[in-house]
Structure 1
Amino acid sequence: MNFPELPPVLGAALAERGYDQLTEVQTAVIEPQAAGRDLIVSAQTGSGKTVAFGLAIAGQLLAPDGTVPFGVAPLALVIAPTRELALQVSRELAWLYAKSGARIATCVGGMDASKERRNLRGGAQIVVGTPGRLRDHLERGALDLSALRAVVLDEADEMLDMGFREDLEELLDAMPEGRRTLLFSATMPKPIVALAKRYQREAMRISTVGETRGHGDIDYQAVAVAPSEIENAVVNLLRFHEAETAILFCATRDAVRRLHATLQERGFAVVALSGEHSQSERNQAMQALRDRRARVCVATDVAARGIDLPSLSLVIHVEVPRDAEALQHRSGRTGRAGKKGTAVILVPFPRRRRIETMLRGARIEAQWVDAPSPKDIRQQDRDRLLAALLAPVEIEDEDRALATTLMAEKSAEDIAAMLVQAHRSRMPQPEELMENTPEARKAAQSERHRPGFEDTVWFRMDIGRRHNADPRWILPLICRRGHVTRNEIGAIRIGGEETFFQIPATIAAKVEDAIQRTFASEDQERPVFIERSDEGPRIQARENRKGGDRKPFTGKPRHDNASGRTERPPRSDRPERPGKRDRMAEGGTPRGDRKPSGAKDAKPGAKPFKAGNWKAGHRKGGPKKPA
């Protein structure tokens, strides 16, 4: 397709790259009213910003014949926050300006600085780098900004968040006054506004960010899982989607290292990216993803900006993003250049409300789905396998001869089954996920019984947590009063005012009779009352019920069990340490009868003392603190 509004060399490069039309931000920066002006551009991740500013600075780089004039000093400078983003920008500009003969130098941390200085001295018309490395080259005299015509600050908000303000200011102060400044920022916080006012002249504001923060090419899904099932859920998601390339985001280096080892053990072709990897290791990992030698990348947020893989169709947030911006930039690695992508957020049960709030704040509509089960994965495998095996292929004569030999030895059904088995053997096995939702846990708890406790009867005691009820002395008390052993007592439910326990129905009548006979023998001021209960442990309803004038339990039950060991008495019966009551017995004033602070011994006409800082109270007309 032709692009008549662009220089021919750039239009030809876009056509060869497969561009049918320009994106919204790319169209906006080449409008006639934007030509030659300073720009402040806000655009969504994955909307083609790199190509956009490459097109925007063409007027300052290209000669009338479509070439870039040779010079020792660079004509354009692009500053990016991370090494990955700077390398991506360099690659994008390389193919965009390939027909113009422009030379591009990349200056990022972790690379050979002496080689970068040689490239700068050799005459690079476009320089792309990170703030720290560019400042280092500037201070050493290797970077000459005297002939600069245009500068681009990509992801300016992120650079300020990462603490590059001083580096940026030193670089911008060293540039000539007449250069053009293009500022690309996803958000416009106050520091960005201040930076624009200081270094730009009558900048034109361009925003292509709509009401929806997450763009429509990404399908957001949220999966609620138990914290202990996160790794298994990751395995099943990878197997269910079978994405050509997937990236998994973790919050820390340790989490990346652990998940990377887990997936390698399960048989996935996986690489890792985090701050502990050198630039060489990062380059090797990215090349493995581009060559399809690896299909899964486990990374920290350092890789959220700058990774641009055309085959990346799945992003999994293994650990919850820190905020909506991190969620957007992580997810923006997929669904780029008009392609569809999927972003899955793994949500531990305790953090579901936080994620729902984050999604509402980001104006992202996510579909809540269950983690794929092995049954779902097997169905997906079946459909994919049938599609792959039934797809038309060109068969060579040698392969057909081998097939004829196999047909002579085995039946067609056996050969097809062996082919299916060979395909399945290369796939990692899915994981069995527990039904660990809150509802499933509640159902499992209600169905879980010890052997012999399938049919039980509930008994009720008129003591609870407010009376210091504790299984350590409740259990011996039940054994003594009901003439049962510990193994004949089922679940114990302690509420605020009462306690319930289970007895097998076969001995319930015997236990009830024993409790009635032993009630009068309790040598306590207030014996614990135990009765059979038909309604069961409706503890929450009883705790919420107000009223009731029953006196708190003050009796001291015996704690002698069958072994002769004395159990620890409840807290209410422990001897109180000498202190307040002893002082009161000696004539002290009870706390409830004391005068308010400041009212006692008040002088006539003195202002009442106000609660708060002692010094502040005495500074307001009160006596001074003794020296």
Structure 2
Amino acid sequence: MQENAQTNENTTEEPVITFDSLGLKPEILKSVKFAGFTAPSPIQAQAIPVVLAGKDMVGQAHTGTGKTAAFSLPALNNMKLDGSVELLVITPTRELATQVSDEIFKYGRNLGVKTVTVYGGSSYKRQLDLIGRGASVVVATPGRMLDILKKGMLNDFAPSMVVLDEADEMLDMGFLDDINEIFSYLPTNRQTLLFSATMPQPIKTLANRILQEPEFISITKGETTNTDIEQLYYVIDEHERDDAIIRLMDSEETQKSVVFCRTKSEVDRLSNVLSNAGYLANGLHGDMEQRQRETVIKGFKNNSVKVLVATDVAARGIHVNNISHVFNYHIPFDPESYVHRIGRTGRAGTKGKAITLLTPLEFKELQRIKKKVGTSMAHAFVPSKTDLRETTIENIVKNIENQKIYDEAHKVLDKLKEDIDEETIMFKLISMILDKQDIKGPSNIGIPADKIEAILARAGKRNDSRGRGNSRGRGGYRGRSNSSGGNRDRNRSGGGYRGNRSSTKRHRD
């Protein structure tokens, strides 16, 4: 008997959490299924019951984990839909405000929920008019929301739930004073939720002030970066940045990527370089008009833009799915920026890759970021022309194997066979494909293996002398060693590509 009881206990499985089991209304469940969700993410499974119960909450989770659904689904479920604004969501950027508003509308469409986006650069009258027509949800940026409240433009504005989304990004962008002032205009009898990827002290202080006995939910497991993101770094000379970024894009199977730059002028220059290299690239920075920004982001979402070149501030809050790669053209100034940058990929349970370029002089900055965020980065070598050609041949073989055969193909073959034997025909056709795979740039890019070993050894000695043990933070080697680093083509102006490469290789259209 005792043995049987032990067996039964060991085979007992924890109940599987589904959206159906969370107590949401049928109309919301219908929208969830229409959106393609099969099961709640960890933050959704933990947060939805708390929000449904009417409790205040602090949610700490990486970007891309489904935070919008985590608060909006239960918020929509609890709405009275009496024609007043019941939910206010504050986001750091106009782009994120638009995306959150679109998502909430999608989840609430079967309930007839109306959402309005409020941000600077657009007409006050239109935004206020839309709210007055019975909006249940307002998604706003801090500056415009505070302006509207201070001027008394909204009558009887008393949302029963307020959400701060991406609170740490709002802190980084200098909105903390605005946030504090906004809450002075809001009713004290409300439910307040705060979501943040990181929890610096100012965010903790804000949470203590605006929340009442909140529940704390964290799915970060003590790490600051997403484990679904593979992180690599490449050590190069300063003049090789353009060559390196293009060679890596050529070698990686990028679907959609973001390249982060430090300055607006660098964004403009690099987006032109990548466009000339045959990539569907466009830039995004703070000096652009709002209409331009919206056009670029729309293009990035619908795949007419495959490479978004952006500054940190411009890209904050851009949550677009299916971003396969993030490239750091320069290593960021601080660890928090690194976390925010690479969080654009590896979203919603998908795998992503973050690639950072740095020079030997910037190696200490890399060590500082690794220590601060507790992340694991692997060193890799930029593929040589020989490496890339081998990869290209493998891809050609796969493409030929998967190529659909058209009915007209036999006509072409029959005509060719009148003058050429079949083996020669095949060689000529394959050579035509290879002609279009021209690999630009120097043969080898980046610091060769022997010099990298010396850099890592010096870094290890510095760590040992500071009492950090024997770990050198190498994170392992990836790729092939470019040990023959001395034979590089140095005659290219600025390392950039000039001229049209639209006839080059795969994944560019």
Q: Does 1:156 align with 2:167?
A: yes
CA distance in 2, matches of 1:387, 1:445: 31
| Alignment equivalent of 1:25, drawn from 11, 21, 43 | 43
1:3 maps to 20
What is the DSSP-based 3-state SS (H/G/I as helix, E as strand, rest coil) of the residue aligned with 1:378?
helix
Asked whether the 8 Å contact 2:284–2:315 carries over to 1, the reply is no
1:16 maps to 34
Asked whether the 8 Å contact 2:243–2:445 carries over to 1, the reply is no
CA distance in 2, matches of 1:275, 1:221: 28
Q: Does 1:332 align with 2:349?
A: no
Q: Does 1:400 align with 2:411?
A: no
CA distance in 2, matches of 1:145, 1:355: 51
Distance 1:308 1:149, change over 3 A: same
What is the DSSP-based 3-state SS (H/G/I as helix, E as strand, rest coil) of the residue aligned with 2:324?
strand
What is the DSSP-based 3-state SS (H/G/I as helix, E as strand, rest coil) of the residue aligned with 1:271?
strand
| Alignment equivalent of 2:110, drawn from 70, 78, 99 | 99
Distance 1:55 1:423, change over 3 A: farther
CA distance in 1, matches of 2:194, 2:26: 26
**Superposed CA offset, 1:14-51 (max 9, x none):** 22222221111111112358720111111112211111
CA distance in 1, matches of 2:20, 2:390: 46
CA distance in 1, matches of 2:50, 2:357: 46
Counting aligned pairs with the same residue, the percent is 32
Once the two structures are superposed, the pairs formed by residues 25-104 of structure 1 within 5 Å of their partners are 25-31=43-49, 35-61=53-79, 63=80, 69-71=81-83, 73-104=84-115
Distance 1:124 1:222, change over 3 A: same
CA distance in 1, matches of 2:219, 2:416: 65
Asked whether the 8 Å contact 1:4–1:11 carries over to 2, the reply is no
CA shift, 1:266, in A, is 1.6
Asked whether the 8 Å contact 2:165–2:195 carries over to 1, the reply is yes
**Superposed CA offset, 1:75-118 (max 9, x none):** 10000011122122122212222222111101122334332222
Q: Does 1:136 align with 2:147?
A: yes
CA distance in 2, matches of 1:80, 1:364: 27
1:167 maps to 178
Asked whether the 8 Å contact 2:244–2:446 carries over to 1, the reply is no
Distance 1:153 1:391, change over 3 A: same
Asked whether the 8 Å contact 1:41–1:205 carries over to 2, the reply is yes
Q: What is the letter of the counterpart of residue 21 of structure 2?
A: P
**Superposed CA offset, 1:469-523 (max 9, x none):** xxxxxxxxxxxxxxxxxxxxxxxxxxxxxxxxxxxxxxxxxxxxxxxxxxxxxxx
Q: What is the letter of the counterpart of residue 69 of structure 2?
A: V
CA shift, 1:353, in A, is 2.5
CA shift, 1:126, in A, is 0.5
Query: TM (normalized to structure 2)?
Result: 0.79
Which 10-residue stretch deviates more, 163-172 or 221-230? 163-172
Q: What is the letter of the counterpart of residue 196 of structure 1?
A: A
Once the two structures are superposed, the pairs formed by residues 346-365 of structure 1 within 5 Å of their partners are 346-365=357-376
CA shift, 1:263, in A, is 1.1
* Structure 2: unaligned runs, 5 residues or longer: 1-17, 455-482, 488-509
| Alignment equivalent of 1:429, drawn from 414, 439, 457 | 439
Asked whether the 8 Å contact 2:234–2:446 carries over to 1, the reply is no
Asked whether the 8 Å contact 1:181–1:200 carries over to 2, the reply is yes
What is the DSSP-based 3-state SS (H/G/I as helix, E as strand, rest coil) of the residue aligned with 1:294?
coil
Q: Please tell me the root mean square deviation across aligned C-alpha atoms, in Å.
A: 2.8
Q: Does 1:187 align with 2:198?
A: yes
Q: What is the letter of the counterpart of residue 439 of structure 2?
A: Q
What is the DSSP-based 3-state SS (H/G/I as helix, E as strand, rest coil) of the residue aligned with 1:365?
coil
What is the DSSP-based 3-state SS (H/G/I as helix, E as strand, rest coil) of the residue aligned with 1:88?
helix
Q: Does 1:275 align with 2:286?
A: yes
1:239 maps to 250
CA distance in 2, matches of 1:446, 1:237: 20
CA distance in 1, matches of 2:438, 2:312: 27
Which 10-residue stretch deviates more, 339-348 or 164-173? 164-173
Q: What is the letter of the counterpart of residue 231 of structure 2?
A: Y
| Alignment equivalent of 1:256, drawn from 257, 260, 267 | 267
CA distance in 1, matches of 2:485, 2:322: 45
CA distance in 1, matches of 2:90, 2:366: 33
CA distance in 2, matches of 1:146, 1:279: 27
CA shift, 1:230, in A, is 1.0
CA distance in 2, matches of 1:303, 1:424: 39
CA shift, 1:74, in A, is 1.1
Q: What is the letter of the counterpart of residue 100 of structure 1?
A: L
1:625 maps to none
Asked whether the 8 Å contact 1:148–1:175 carries over to 2, the reply is yes
CA distance in 2, matches of 1:446, 1:270: 32
Which 10-residue stretch deviates more, 401-410 or 36-45? 401-410
Once the two structures are superposed, the pairs formed by residues 114-513 of structure 1 within 5 Å of their partners are 114-144=125-155, 146-391=157-402, 393=404, 399-401=406-408, 403-405=410-412, 407-409=414-416, 420=430, 429-432=439-442, 433-434=444-445, 436-437=447-448, 439=450
CA distance in 1, matches of 2:424, 2:299: 36
What is the DSSP-based 3-state SS (H/G/I as helix, E as strand, rest coil) of the residue aligned with 2:197?
coil
What is the DSSP-based 3-state SS (H/G/I as helix, E as strand, rest coil) of the residue aligned with 1:214?
coil
Asked whether the 8 Å contact 1:36–1:59 carries over to 2, the reply is no
CA distance in 2, matches of 1:445, 1:26: 50
CA distance in 2, matches of 1:445, 1:407: 49
Asked whether the 8 Å contact 2:229–2:353 carries over to 1, the reply is yes
CA distance in 1, matches of 2:432, 2:111: 50
Asked whether the 8 Å contact 2:93–2:317 carries over to 1, the reply is yes
CA shift, 1:383, in A, is 2.1
Asked whether the 8 Å contact 1:14–1:96 carries over to 2, the reply is yes
CA shift, 1:225, in A, is 0.8
CA distance in 2, matches of 1:2, 1:146: 32
What is the DSSP-based 3-state SS (H/G/I as helix, E as strand, rest coil) of the residue aligned with 2:345?
coil
CA distance in 2, matches of 1:414, 1:291: 42
CA shift, 1:345, in A, is 0.9
CA distance in 1, matches of 2:132, 2:176: 27
Query: TM (normalized to structure 1)?
Result: 0.65
Distance 1:218 1:38, change over 3 A: same
CA distance in 1, matches of 2:238, 2:427: 39
CA distance in 1, matches of 2:67, 2:416: 60
Larger Rg: 1
**Superposed CA offset, 1:139-187 (max 9, x none):** 3444345341101011222223322233223321222221111111223
CA distance in 1, matches of 2:434, 2:113: 49
* Structure 1: unaligned runs, 5 residues or longer: 64-68, 448-627
**Superposed CA offset, 1:256-287 (max 9, x none):** 11111211222211011111112211221122
CA distance in 2, matches of 1:276, 1:247: 18
CA shift, 1:440, in A, is 5.8
What is the DSSP-based 3-state SS (H/G/I as helix, E as strand, rest coil) of the residue aligned with 1:15?
helix
